[in-house]
Copies of this chain bind each other. A is one copy, B any other.
Amino acid sequence: MSVDLQVQGFSSAAVAAHIRKKDRLDLALIYSEVPANAAGVFTTSKVKAAPVRLGMERLQNGRAQAIMINSGIANACTGAEGMQLARATGKMVADALAIDEELVQVSSTGVIGEQLSADPFAQAMPGLIGKLSAKGLAEVAEAIMTTDLVPKTAVRKVSIAGQAVKLVGIAKGSGMIMPNMATMLGFVLTDAAVAQATLAGMLKIASDQSFNRITVDGDTSTNDTVLLLANGLAGNPVVDDVAVAEKDVLQEALNDLMKDLALQIVRDGEGATKLVTVRVIGAPSDEAAEAAARTIANSPLVKTAFFGEDANWGRIIGALGRSGVEFDADRVDIAFDQVVMVKNGLGQGAEMETLATQVLKKKEFAVNIDLKVGSGAGEIYTCDFSINYVKINADYRS
């Protein structure tokens, strides 16, 4: 695994800095030996954690060389003190690596509303820098976990104008620390040479098809962050908006890698036992299809029915009805995988329900809905809503 995650010019490390709990990996660093072109997507919440605000500001120049990530405390809702801390700890990294502090990205995940102390960062920094290694990314994937049960990694290799390039990604999912927040973090590294102006657009396209298509409980974190660094060491001709064929190859690999990571997050959603694709076609527009799919994918009634393995199409049509999307209830078809339970708004009887129930017993399946209004299509990936979800999230922070 650790061999696979190597990319030219990138080294990584993680250590136990004892930020909130003792003796677990909670501080990580990713470093590129040359400044990389960089792009980011961040939480759409009005409440943005200090590292998110700092990261957005610094990415305006489209360059990054290091990413430091801590778990334990999110540095969200921490006011001016929190912003100062983000800058100060970022400067520690810049000084230790002798790089411009504007090239350091800082990410945090953990409890909201508590202040980070600079001390554990200062004490851990020499060890962290000393441990940097081409094989270190696997440990970073562990260090950023919160209630995640498994680390999430993905690798893709493609050829750009005859030159082999590699993309690796790691992510953490929708876990609450102690249990206080649901942060999604993703970091994608590539040795591909990509023009900065092109990189941000590519990341947006891939995000819209991956991380922006998943839901565990409909909540958005203050710290959601995805960063993409391309250091160009593969030596391929620079991919830009003119090199259409090359860009398509790289875009497809990026989309594929990020969707892989996104689905890993849903499979490992808190308490999740099933991965469900909610697919809507025949909508007035793609946006309407996505909105309809999202309403279904977030409905507690639908999600508890998935957990109960109940092919309860009444709840699906109920969620559709309140989604705000235009359709005629008397024309809707609903299928579980290929088992059509509803045709033109009418249930198809006990035999189809028996077949559909078999589909729901699977670990992964799709709900396919045809509104027959237009040609809009969209899908959302969700998980079921289990007793364990409530248990995990009702436990007092401790």
Contact = CB atoms under 8 A, between A and B. Distances in A.
Interface of A: 43-48, 74, 76-79, 111-114, 176, 180-182, 217-222, 299-301, 304-305, 307-310, 312-315, 317-323, 325-327, 329-330, 342, 344-347, 385-387, 389-391, 393-397
Contacts of A112: 313-315, 317-318
Contact of A394 (B77, B307, B313): B307
Contacts of A79: 330, 344-346
A314 B111 contact: yes
A317 to B, nearest CB: 5
A73 to B, nearest CB: 11
The complex is assembled from copies of this chain, and their number is: 2
Nearest to A392: B304
Contacts of A48: 321, 329
A354 to B, nearest CB: 12
A390 B394 contact: no
Nearest to A309: B396
A12 B301 CA distance: 33
A221 B318 contact: yes
A314 B76 contact: yes
A300 B217 contact: yes
B321 A45 contact: yes
Given A301-B217, A385-B390, A315 B181 contact: yes
A293 to B, nearest CB: 15
A391 B387 contact: yes
A222 B396 contact: no
For the complex of A and B, 4 pairs with smallest distance between CB atoms: A112-B314, A308-B394, A47-B321, A45-B321
A308 B393 contact: yes
A318 B219 contact: yes
A307 B390 contact: yes
